[in-house]
């Protein structure tokens, strides 16, 4: 079985390599894991990336931010329906307010499910990008002062809670608000609430010390090297770096590998949902859909990510106990092969892993 998993992971990595500088693919089926790499950590040096190679994971960070929210909610530090303005106390510039619409305030639940009505990007950011083409890190100036000053001038595109509208701004504000409530910076918050309990030692915002030598070089779609992104105070939207080994631990925690205090938070992330249509929904931090019956009818819970030089995907099926993580050091989507691998695992391993249909049997 492990050999078969390894073949599937390697086949996916090899399929991606012609258009990516380097790729690592992890396949999980129950208690079996296979991690395979292909390509290189950089175009002009480095070896084949592996389980401990560090990649920027971009918007996969949002799932960590939402899990931190759930963890704080289960301990009573916050409530899902607390207004964002309450958690930004002390940070908002004098005389400014958080926007509302139709009498509805933005809550933490809205931010984690992308139903806040906030735009995708902070106020004025698109204009900056247009005026400065080739900016190596478009989020570098997103300090708390800049974000909150712009927030006060932002009009909501919908009533909070009404409809899905993907927002990097919203996820970043959620991370900022939770950090402010905890009295910690975002990186320490994620380490203390998620990574330390799970033993994930390589999921971090800052890459320094011994990790530096294991960090992959990012590349644009034409394989040109790209500098790293630093999202300043918008970190909760996409600032984390991680490895395939750490993400396997994280994915397995999504069904039955988490300590009790974290398992309660994981359950909460999936209990909350906003339905986008009959087949797709949004949980706290995660996208989800059910495949057509002709494709097996399985549930796929997932998130992807992209920065200036990296792309990523994580997805799992808690009912079948299978998961996939794909990391690339090239800014080109990995979604299609990743989804196909997840579907293959669902179809090939579900009955063997859990004949009764119970993932805990």
Does 193 reside within a domain?
Answer: yes
Does 39 reside within a domain?
Answer: yes
CA 177 to chain centre: 18
Does 337 reside within a domain?
Answer: yes
Burial of 278 per CB tally in 10 Å (0-12, 13-18, 19+) = exposed
Does 361 reside within a domain?
Answer: no
pLDDT band at 126 (very low <50, low <70, confident <90, very high): confident
Does 360 reside within a domain?
Answer: no
Residue 312 — φ and ψ, nearest 5°? -155, 160
Where is pLDDT greater, at 361 or 352? 352
What is the predicted pLDDT for the residue at 358?
37
Cα 248 to Cα 13, 158, 199, 251, distances in angstroms: 16, 36, 12, 5
Residue 227's SS3 state is: coil
The DSSP H or E segment spanning 226 is strand 225-226
Residue 105's SS3 state is: strand
- What is the DSSP-derived secondary structure letter of residue 332? S
Burial of 297 per CB tally in 10 Å (0-12, 13-18, 19+) = exposed
pLDDT 10s digits, 285-312: 999 999 888 778 889 999 999 999 999 9
pLDDT 10s digits, 79-99: 999 999 999 989 998 888 999
CA 228 to chain centre: 17
Cα 178 to Cα 30, 51, 160, 183, distances in angstroms: 33, 30, 19, 9
C-alpha span between 116 and 101 (Å, rounded): 10
pLDDT band at 130 (very low <50, low <70, confident <90, very high): low
C-alpha span between 352 and 361 (Å, rounded): 12
Does 358 reside within a domain?
Answer: no
In which domain, by residue range, is 22 found? 2-353
pLDDT band at 352 (very low <50, low <70, confident <90, very high): low
Contacts with 339 (C-beta within 8 Å, 6 or more apart), sequence order: 300, 302, 313, 315
The domain total for the chain is 1
pLDDT 10s digits, 341-350: 999 999 986 4
* CATH number (domain holding residue 341): 3.40.710.10
Residue 170 — φ and ψ, nearest 5°? -60, -45
Does 118 reside within a domain?
Answer: yes
What does pTM read for this prediction?
Answer: 0.94
Does 77 reside within a domain?
Answer: yes
C-alpha span between 124 and 219 (Å, rounded): 26
Nearest C-alpha neighbor of 236 from the set 172, 284, 145, 193: 172
Contacts with 33 (C-beta within 8 Å, 6 or more apart), sequence order: 2, 5, 26, 27, 248
Where is pLDDT greater, at 131 or 193? 193
pLDDT band at 355 (very low <50, low <70, confident <90, very high): very low
Residue 22's SS3 state is: strand
- Residue 297, sorted as left (phi over 0), alpha (psi -120 to 50) or beta, turns out to be left
What is the predicted pLDDT for the residue at 354?
40
pLDDT 10s digits, 22-59: 999 999 999 999 999 999 999 887 899 999 999 999 99
């Amino acid at each position: 079985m492990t050999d078969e998993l390894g073949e599937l992971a390697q086949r996916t990595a090899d399929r991606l390599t012609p258009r990516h500088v380097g790729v690592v693919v992890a396949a999980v089926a129950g208690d079996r894991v296979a991690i395979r790499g292909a390509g290189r950590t950089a175009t002009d040096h480095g070896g084949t990336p592996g389980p401990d190679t560090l990649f920027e994971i971009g918007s996969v960070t949002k799932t960590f931010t939402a899990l931190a929210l759930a963890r704080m909610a289960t301990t009573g530090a916050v409530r899902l329906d607390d207004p964002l303005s309450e958690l930004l106390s002390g940070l908002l510039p004098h005389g400014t307010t958080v926007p509302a619409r139709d009498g509805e305030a933005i809550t933490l639940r809205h931010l984690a499910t992308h139903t806040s009505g906030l735009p995708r990007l902070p106020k004025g950011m698109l204009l900056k990008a247009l005026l400065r083409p080739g900016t190596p890190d478009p989020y570098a100036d997103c300090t708390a002062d800049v974000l909150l000053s712009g927030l006060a001038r932002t009009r909501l595109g919908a009533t909070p809670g009404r409809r899905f509208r993907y927002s990097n701004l919203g996820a970043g504000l959620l991370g900022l608000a939770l950090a402010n409530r905890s009295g910690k910076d975002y990186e320490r918050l994620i380490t203390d609430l998620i990574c330390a309990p799970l033993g994930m030692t390589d999921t971090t915002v800052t890459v320094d010390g011994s990790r530096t030598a294991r960090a992959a070089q990012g590349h644009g779609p034409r394989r040109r090297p790209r500098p790293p992104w630093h999202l300043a105070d918008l970190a909760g939207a996409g600032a984390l770096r991680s490895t395939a080994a750490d993400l396997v631990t994280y994915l397995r925690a999504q069904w039955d590998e988490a300590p009790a205090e974290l398992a309660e938070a994981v359950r909460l992330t999936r209990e909350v949902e906003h339905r986008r249509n009959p087949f797709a929904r949004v949980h706290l931090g995660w996208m989800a859909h059910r495949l057509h019956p002709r494709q097996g009818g399985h549930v796929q819970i997932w998130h992807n990510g992209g920065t200036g030089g990296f792309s990523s995907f994580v997805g799992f099926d808690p009912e079948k106990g299978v998961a996939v993580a794909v990391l690339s050091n090239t800014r080109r989507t990995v979604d299609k092969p990743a989804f196909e691998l997840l579907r293959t695992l669902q179809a090939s391993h579900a009955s063997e892993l859990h004949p009764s249909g119970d993932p805990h049997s």
